[in-house]
């Protein structure tokens, strides 16, 4: 657990937050405690997502689904407020490591532990599927190890089997790379069989210490899941046979969760677990965690208060001089590594008497003109706004996102005049980018000749000369992780614009930093983006103008 940083919330609903447990593409997870002393895990969504009505609808639906989930091998949802200005959900907190941490720190688990683990998870999935739900994100970090058995957590992207309406972005598949089923990656119909595939990948990781698919890039990893056989290493006997069956490419060939559980533990997981299922070092670790939790001091001192939205007028509520702006999507990281608009001056956040950052976020919850989204005005010091959104990559970095890269782009010799990225006139005699390309574009992206969904690309193109920054590409992958590429103008021809794309400073390690050439070509009213980056599967996107 990490201590709360300046600007982080100190409360969520009735729960006082004691520290940060982790972060992901949807939000941050905190350790919380109620006034009565109950300890919980509280997930608070990123504020910019709270302003997206589609996300709110999805979050509300999935909290309702998670409330229905119970049983011996799942961590129950205890409380939630999906309609709060910044939505949150609280689940029972477990004083035990995740499977990821246990294997990373201690190596592969013994066979009897893996059998008990798999049997418990299979029973949990059977109960989930009986409710008409699919978990869709079974992976080692969503499995907690306790003295009483494994617990499956985080139903944040569970989907109803009968729900065919998609509330996610076009081209986005939800899940985690290496643990997503082939049909999930390809955007086909997802059933409970997808959870069984993920279960097989989890068993392989627990037993061997390595995931069954180990591609160096996201494109390679997802290609392996779809087209290649898993690597099961030293696994042998019935455990290997069951793991391989769960990892079958054809959903119909995989065993049902109940069958998988019977093959792992014919008399049920409870008997295996009651006999002592964890190895000695893990028993000691879990016991120490429980003691630390009991000794945790709830009086952590002064705090800045909860992150909350106060209702205010959208138009004209806050003077421009106060730094008001639109609190929406996560800001694009500038060339210098700072968050916010390129060239914006760094404004130090105000601090209260305790030295912690204090701030206000003012938002209107009413619909914008035309009924699209939410209109918002806010007052946030830029450094604080960056801190709030910085966690949006977090666990989502498991699947390599696509980012904005810089390179040269413009053709010298075109006798035109224009403007540079900063708005100053370009000298005569230099090439400029035709107005046809300028603006903001967005659309689904694919790789490997269209067989691999990559998520959504959003490209902003402004005026530039050769060697200057042409714009930025923001790629959001299937699990919400983000990479930014900076495009530098290389050449303008009669039919296309060529640029060099390079990963922006501040990208996480899953983003590709290597420069490569991209082409922008008009197609009707759209703009086609193509990349020669073979390491990424030669991404392609057809984008529509959004601004």
Q: Where are the domains of the chain?
A: 11-94, 99-288, 400-545
pLDDT band at 2 (very low <50, low <70, confident <90, very high): confident
Report whether 115 contacts 239 (CB < 8 A). Answer: yes
pLDDT at 163 over 50: no
> In Å, what is the CA distance from 32 to each residue of 4, 19, 43, 83, 89?
12, 8, 10, 20, 11
Top-confidence residue, 486 or 337: 486
Q: What percent of the chain has pLDDT over 90?
A: 38
Whole-model pTM: value is 0.56
The structure tokens 């075109």 sit at 414
Q: Name the band, by pLDDT with cuts 50, 70 and 90, for residue 25.
A: low
Three-state DSSP string of 428-456? CCECCCCHHHCEEEEEEEEECCCCEEEEE
23-48 b/e with 16+ CB inside 10 Å = b? bbbbbbbbbbbeeeeebbbbbbbbbb
Q: What is the mean predicted confidence (pLDDT) over 512-519?
A: 90
Q: Is 210 helix (H, G, I), strand (E, B) or coil?
A: coil
Least confident of 35-44, 166-175, 289-298: 166-175
The mean pLDDT value for 50-65 works out to 82
Q: Identify the weakest region by mean pLDDT among 291-300, 437-446, 447-456.
A: 291-300
Tens of pLDDT, residues 70-100: 666 887 888 999 888 889 999 888 878 999 9
**Rounded Cα distance, 41 and 36, in Å:** 15
User: The tokens of 521 are what?
Assistant: 């070509």
Report whether pLDDT(181) > 80. yes
pLDDT at position 493, please? 93
Asked if the model's pLDDT at residue 270 lies above 80, the reply is yes
pLDDT of residue 208: 96
For residue 391, the SS3 value is: helix
Tell me the residue ranges of DSSP E strands in 285-351: 309-310, 324-325
d(CA 459, CA 476): 11
322: burial class by Cβ within 10 Å (0-12, 13-18, 19+)?
exposed
Helix (H, G, I), strand (E, B), or coil: what is residue 477? coil
pLDDT for position 71? 64
Rg of the chain, C-alpha, whole Å: 25
- pLDDT greater than 60 at residue 490: yes
- The mean pLDDT of 491-502, rounded to a whole number, is 94
pLDDT digits (tens, 9 = 90+) for 399-450: 233 333 333 333 333 333 333 333 333 333 345 899 999 999 999 998 878 8
Answer left, alpha or beta for residue 9, where phi above 0 means left and psi between -120 and 50 means alpha. Answer: beta
pLDDT beyond 70 at 233: yes
**Residue with the larger pLDDT of the pair 59 and 248:** 248
Which comes out higher in pLDDT, residue 218 or 4? 4
> Token match 């409970």: residue?
192
Identify which of 49-58, 89-98, 237-246, 314-323 has the greatest average pLDDT: 237-246
Minimal CA–CA distance to 121: which of 99, 152, 146, 96? Answer: 152
pLDDT value of position 420: 37
Percent of the chain with pLDDT over 70: 69
Q: So which residues are the catalytic ones?
A: 137
**Which pLDDT band, with edges at 50, 70 and 90, does 357 fall under?**
very low
DSSP structure class, residue 379: E
Given CATH 3.40.50.150, say whether it is the number of domain 11-94: no
524 has a pLDDT exceeding 50? yes
Mean pLDDT for 379-392 is: 31
Q: How confident is the model at residue 219 (pLDDT cuts 50, 70, 90)?
A: confident
pLDDT of residue 466: 92
The response to whether 139 counts as a known ligand-binding position is: no
Q: Which of 36-50, 167-181, 319-333, 506-520 has the lowest mean pLDDT?
A: 319-333
Mean pLDDT (whole number) for 196-224:
91
Predicted pLDDT of residue 537: 79
3-state secondary structure 232-270: CCCCCHHHHHHHHHHCCCCHHHCCCHHHHHHHHCCCCHH
**What pLDDT is attached to residue 264?**
96
| Range among 26-40, 192-206, 438-452 with highest mean pLDDT value | 192-206
Please state the rounded mean pLDDT for residues 490-516.
Answer: 88
CATH topology of domain 400-545: Lipocalin (2.40.128)
pLDDT of 326 > 60? The answer is no
Q: What is the pLDDT of residue 222?
A: 87
Q: What is the pLDDT of residue 457?
A: 94
Predicted confidence at residue 353, as pLDDT, reads 39
Q: For the domain with range 99-288, which CATH number is right: 1.50.10.10, 3.90.600.10, 1.10.510.10, 3.30.70.1140?
A: 1.10.510.10
């Amino acid at each position: 657990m990490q201590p709360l940083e300046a600007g982080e919330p100190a409360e969520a609903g009735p729960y006082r937050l004691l520290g940060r447990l982790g972060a992901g593409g949807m939000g941050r997870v905190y350790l919380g405690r109620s006034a009565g002393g109950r300890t919980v895990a509280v997930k608070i969504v990123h504020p910019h997502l709270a302003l997206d009505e589609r996300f709110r609808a999805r979050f509300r639906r999935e909290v309702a689904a998670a409330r229905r989930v119970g049983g011996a091998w799942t961590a129950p949802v205890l409380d939630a407020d999906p309609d709060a200005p910044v939505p949150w959900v609280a689940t029972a907190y477990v004083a035990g490591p995740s499977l990821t941490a246990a294997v990373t720190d201690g190596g592969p688990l013994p066979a009897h532990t893996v059998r008990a683990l798999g049997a418990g998870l299979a029973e949990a999935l059977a109960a989930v599927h009986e409710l008409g739900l699919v978990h869709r994100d079974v992976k080692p970090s969503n499995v907690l190890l306790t003295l009483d058995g494994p617990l499956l957590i985080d139903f944040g992207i569970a989907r109803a089997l009968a729900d065919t309406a998609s509330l996610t972005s076009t081209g986005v598949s939800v899940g985690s790379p290496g643990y997503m089923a082939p049909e999930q990656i390809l955007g086909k119909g997802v059933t409970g069989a997808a959870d069984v595939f993920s279960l097989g990948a989890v068993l392989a990781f627990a037993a061997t210490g390595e995931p069954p698919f180990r591609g160096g890039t996201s494109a390679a990893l997802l290609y392996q899941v779809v087209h290649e056989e898993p690597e099961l290493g030293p696994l042998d006997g019935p455990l290997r046979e069951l793991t391989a069956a769960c990892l079958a490419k054809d959903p119909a060939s995989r065993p049902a969760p109940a069958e998988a559980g019977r093959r792992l533990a014919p008399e049920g997981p409870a008997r295996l677990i009651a006999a002592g299922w964890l190895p000695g070092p893990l028993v000691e670790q879990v016991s120490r965690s429980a003691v630390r939790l009991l000794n945790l001091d709830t009086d952590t001192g002064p705090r800045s208060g909860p992150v909350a939205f106060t209702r205010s007028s959208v138009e004209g509520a806050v003077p421009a001089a106060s730094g008001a702006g639109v609190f929406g999507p996560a800001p694009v990281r500038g060339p210098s590594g700072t968050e916010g608009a390129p060239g914006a001056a760094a404004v130090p956040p105000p601090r209260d008497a305790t030295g912690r950052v204090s701030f206000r976020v003012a938002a209107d919850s009413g619909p914008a003109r035309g009924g699209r989204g939410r209109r918002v005005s806010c007052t946030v010091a830029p450094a604080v706004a960056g801190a709030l959104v910085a966690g949006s990559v977090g666990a989502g970095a498991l699947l390599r996102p696509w980012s904005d890269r810089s390179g040269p782009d413009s053709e010298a010799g075109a006798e035109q005049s224009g403007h540079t990225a900063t708005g100053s006139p370009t000298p005569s005699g230099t090439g400029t980018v035709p107005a046809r390309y300028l603006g903001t574009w967005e659309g689904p992206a694919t790789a490997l000749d269209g067989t691999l969904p990559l998520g959504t690309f959003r490209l902003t193109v402004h005026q530039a000369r050769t060697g200057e920054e042409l714009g930025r590409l923001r790629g959001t992958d299937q699990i919400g992780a983000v990479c930014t590429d900076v495009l530098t103008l290389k050449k303008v021809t009669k039919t296309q614009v060529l640029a060099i794309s390079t990963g922006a400073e501040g990208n996480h390690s899953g983003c590709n930093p290597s420069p490569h050439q991209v082409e922008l070509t008009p197609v009707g009213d759209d703009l086609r983006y193509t990349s020669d980056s073979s390491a990424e599967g030669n991404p392609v996107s057809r984008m529509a103008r959004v601004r």
